[in-house]
């Protein structure tokens, strides 16, 4: 399946109002400083250390799955032995196990980090529990399909599940895992992707019927959750960077990534961040760091890979990274993170932090530092 990307081609530069070069020249000295590699590495180390010192959830919880994905990216960027030691200590503490529900994508997201570490260390004990749970998931029907009709019934699952199946399939040379990921992803896409807004609904409870009836924001718009779509963007990066250029289904993910990227830069707010409700920014006026972090990560990756036009997208990434750094306290706490929830309707402030917000910030920095 291919998705049309032409619908936005004519208006993007006008919507942004400047080219990447013009934006770069207009940055203040203070803003230019946040793009210096030394500064970025310092921020990644500071945020990682602060978050590791302030644990909040069970290590194998989905929240930490997103966090440790960012921690691994911070290690790759900084080559910090302290970070690598922390990652290895985490795996040894969990005995490289996923969480309890074998068929729930939230409970295997921590396996992303196990697989990344396995590629460094080549120790089979790091990978065997992941292999066991994915094989069970592939062969044993579970409660998620029974209760919801599909396994990945909420859009966040597209960050949690597909990268694990794709990474494991490539590591173990098991194409059936990539096929399974494709099948489940398409089920979620067909159910939740809105072709008019070019965004994902969080789950089926946010879909409108043919008469336009359903959950609405205060301005009458349909609810499209920033962090949920950020999860999808982050997951697309994780999948695309694994698949070979000639992989038969890569074009689907690539076109979806382009389509969502084009829509998201239209919805970015002047401070560089996205609001928790993408189509009703006034309802929740504070910039939300976790969704914004994932978006910044994905857009920067797209530029770095030559997938997204630099002149069009660099201004958005620059504004996002500047805005994200204003959410980080001097001691390294990433604030302005919406609490756990399934939609935008949770209040937050500069004091609000969550481990996945830190993970998103670390992922963003790991790609921003590569911009040329």
Which active-site residues does the annotation give?
Answer: 156
What 3-state class would DSSP assign to 157? helix
| DSSP assignment of 250-318 | HHHHHHHHHHHHHHHHHH--TTS---SBTT-GGGS-S--HHHHHHHHHHHHHHHHTTSS-HHHHHHHHH
Cα(2)–Cα(290) distance, rounded to whole angstroms?
A: 29
Of 343, 326, 252, 217, nearest in space to 291 by CA: 343
Dihedral (CA of 207, 213, 217, 221) sign = positive
Cα–Cα–Cα angle for 106, 297, 34, rounded to 5 degrees? 135
List Cα–Cα distances, 167 to 60, 161, 217, 265, 309, in angstroms.
18, 10, 38, 29, 27
Q: Kind and range of the H or E element at 193? A: strand 193-194
Of 296, 284, 277, 279, nearest in space to 349 by CA: 284
* Contact between residue 295 and residue 232 where contact means Cβ atoms under 8 Å apart: no
* Contact between residue 139 and residue 181 where contact means Cβ atoms under 8 Å apart: no
């Amino acid at each position: 399946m291919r998705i049309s990307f032409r619908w936005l081609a004519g208006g993007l530069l006008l919507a942004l109002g400047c080219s990447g070069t013009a934006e770069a020249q207009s940055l203040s000295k203070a803003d230019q400083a946040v793009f210096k590699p030394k500064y970025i590495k310092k921020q990644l180390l500071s945020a990682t250390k602060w978050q590791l010192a302030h644990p909040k959830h069970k290590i194998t919880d989905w929240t930490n799955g997103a966090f440790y994905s960012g921690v691994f990216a911070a290690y790759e960027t900084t080559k910090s032995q302290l970070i690598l030691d922390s990652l290895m200590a985490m795996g040894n503490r969990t005995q490289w196990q996923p969480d309890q529900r074998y068929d729930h994508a939230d409970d295997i997201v921590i396996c992303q980090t196990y697989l990344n570490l396995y590629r460094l260390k080549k120790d089979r004990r790091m990978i065997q529990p992941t292999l066991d749970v994915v094989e069970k998931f592939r062969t044993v029907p579970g409660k998620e399909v029974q209760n919801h009709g599909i396994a990945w019934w909420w859009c966040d699952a597209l960050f949690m599940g597909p990268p694990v199946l794709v990474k494991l399939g490539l590591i173990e040379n098991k194409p059936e895992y990539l096929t399974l990921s494709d099948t489940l992803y398409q089920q979620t896409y067909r159910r939740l992707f809105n072709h008019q807004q070019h965004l994902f609904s969080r789950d089926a409870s946010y879909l409108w019927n043919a008469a336009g009836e359903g959950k609405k924001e205060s301005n009458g718009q349909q609810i499209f959750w920033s962090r949920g779509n950020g999860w999808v963007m982050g997951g697309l990066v994780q999948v695309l960077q694994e698949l070979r250029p000639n992989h038969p289904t890569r074009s689907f993910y690539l076109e979806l990534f382009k389509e969502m990227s084009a829509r998201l830069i239209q919805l970015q707010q002047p401070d560089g961040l996205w609001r928790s409700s993408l189509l009703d920014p006034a309802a929740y006026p504070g910039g939300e760091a976790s969704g914004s972090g994932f978006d910044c990560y994905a857009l920067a990756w797209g530029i770095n890979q030559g997938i997204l036009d630099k002149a069009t997208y660099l201004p958005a990434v620059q504004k996002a990274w500047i805005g994200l750094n204003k959410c980080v306290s001097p001691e390294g706490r990433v604030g302005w993170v919406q609490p756990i929830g399934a939609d935008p309707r949770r209040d937050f402030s500069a004091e609000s932090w969550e481990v996945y917000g830190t993970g998103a910030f670390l992922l963003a920095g790991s790609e921003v530092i590569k911009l040329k």
